[in-house]
Amino acid sequence: MTPDWKETETIRQLLHKSPTGMTITEIANTLGMHRNTAARYLDMLVATGEADRKRMGPAKAYFPARRVPVQALTLVTPPACLCLTGRLEVAEATPEAARLLHPPEEADYTPHTAVPAPLFRDDTFLTKCRDAVAGTPGEYHICITQNRQKTDLAIQLIPIVFTSGAGGCAVTFTDITESAAAEEERNTWKERYTALSEDLTEWVVHISPAMTIDFANEAFCRHAGRPADRVAGIRFLPAFQPDERRHLDTLIASLLPGESPVTAEIRAIRRDGSSGRETWTIRPLGEPGGRITGYHATGRDITALKHCEEQVLQYHQNLEENIQRRTTEMQQANQALMTVLAEKEDLERKLLFTRQAFDQASDSILLFSRDGSICQTNRTAEEFLGYRREELAECTVFDVNPSLTREAWDRMWNEPEPGRKERTTSIHRRRDGTIFDVDLSRTFVKADGELYFCSIAREIKRD
């Protein structure tokens, strides 16, 4: 390893620690080397494209750059490529770029005329080029017409460095006409499908592999009593009774892409509390033999149809048996509904009691998520710290405990142990900036599959 390489590597590492830039004097003083030596190594880094420099008053600031040497462009870019200088003049142009941007009869133009003038009159494109010259890559899209044929081009702007050490940018062109046409056609068919499904009286639902609703037509939204934005994202199976849910889950688990759909008739409770019947046809989506990408489900209310069938049967069977059966079904449906309502009321009472006990606790209780934001807080914590509840929701663990660093917080989350309690003393900061000592009990708790950090604090009174 040569001394020059060691020095340049040291400067390179120093620049990466200070991305906002350092002057030659600052670098020389930091590394304890002569100013001229530091300047020589910096010029070497600028020439190789590893550093950029910008004049800031009488001094020059150097900062790390991510530039591609112009000699390596052909290895990482599409064939159609232009190289622009810092003045946005074309220094080099590949034959593919000339053929792409000019008619065949003009393909022999010299490099400085290889780009059509309209492209360089676009202020947005020029701004992105200047940003790329300064070291910020960018993207651009343009549509050109040649020989009455439309061509869509995706343009990438890449910061480069020339062999002279001067900065520039490479403009690469990728023909995305086919993909853009495919995307346009896909959107067209999607609009047609949406328009068709909206006019259907049947329910049309698209279900993700995770069994959540991605799309539902207007008929299903009316049936569910929810607008489309509230239907999307909810789970499909929980909309049915538990026994029917298990039946549907078994049928769906047996589906494979390319196979025939399954149809099931299920019992349901309508929004008005009455018993109903529905029929659903579920088709798996995906390539045959591949993985399932989703499900297409169509359903309809067949309650009236079932009622007609029952009325026909009444002419051939004992009327009292049919009445008894209908009564039993209604009682079972109402009993199931009442059970659900009772469970819900019980849960609400328990939740209210828990919340009241949580708020009335004599100690400050705070629940933090992984990023340090406050998820839950009791009333004592609000009085303890001098914040309103909505103000605490915008605070973080670092606002409450100024002695806690990001590194210490991350270490506590490296291997959390839910349930293991830890007692310690620390400090807290009130809204007015007052710092005070606290006796702290902290632990990790898990709820709904998520892990939270629980902090229970009591102020230490000093005599």
Domain shared by 143 and 103, yes or no: yes
Given a contact cutoff of 8 angstroms between Cβ atoms, the answer to whether 139 and 121 are in contact is no
Q: Is residue 185 part of a domain?
A: no
CB atoms under 10 Å from CB of 90, counted, come to: 18
27 and 82 inside one domain? no
The number of folded domains in the chain is 4
Alpha-carbon span 363 to 439, nearest angstrom: 10
End position of a domain, from candidates 11, 35, 64: 64
Q: Rounded mean pLDDT of the chain? A: 80
On whether both 366 and 291 belong to a single domain, the answer is: no
Q: Are residues 269 and 306 in the same domain?
A: yes
- Domain endpoint, select from 283, 312, 341: 312
User: Can you give the residue range of the structural domain that contains 60?
Assistant: 3-64
The helix/strand/coil state of 195 is helix
What is the average per-residue pLDDT within 39-67? 72
Whether the predicted pLDDT of 112 surpasses 50? no
Tokens, residue 401:
């405990």
Give me the pLDDT at residue 1, please: 38
331 part of a folded domain: no
Q: Of 345 and 102, which is predicted with more confidence? A: 345
Residue of higher predicted confidence among 52 and 349: 349
Q: How do residues 170-200 score in pLDDT, each as one tens digit?
A: 888 888 888 888 888 888 877 777 777 776 7
* Residues 275-290: b if buried by 16+ CB within 10 A, e if exposed: bbbbbbebbbebeeee
Mean pLDDT, rounded, for 344-364: 78
Banded model confidence at residue 381, pLDDT cuts 50, 70, 90: confident
Side chain identity at 245, as an amino acid letter? R
**Banded pLDDT at 110 (limits 50, 70, 90):** very low
Q: Do residue 54 and residue 85 come from a single domain?
A: no
Q: How big is the CA angle at 221 (ends 217 and 227), to the nearest 5 degrees? A: 110
Residues 369 and 415 grouped into a single domain: yes
The pLDDT of residue 356: 75
Assigned token pair, 393:
């929701």
**What global pTM score does this model have?**
0.41
Residues 276 and 297 in one domain: yes
Specify the pLDDT at position 115: 54
pLDDT score at 463:
59
Please check the confidence at residue 131 and state whether its pLDDT lies above 80. yes
117 or 345, greater pLDDT? 345
Has residue 101 been placed in a domain? Answer: yes
Residue 3 has pLDDT above 60, yes or no: no
Q: Hey, is 176 helix, strand or coil?
A: coil
What tens digit of pLDDT does each residue of 154-175 get? Answer: 889 888 888 777 778 888 888 8
- pLDDT higher than threshold 50 for residue 233: yes
Give the CATH number of the domain where residue 157 resides: 3.30.450.20
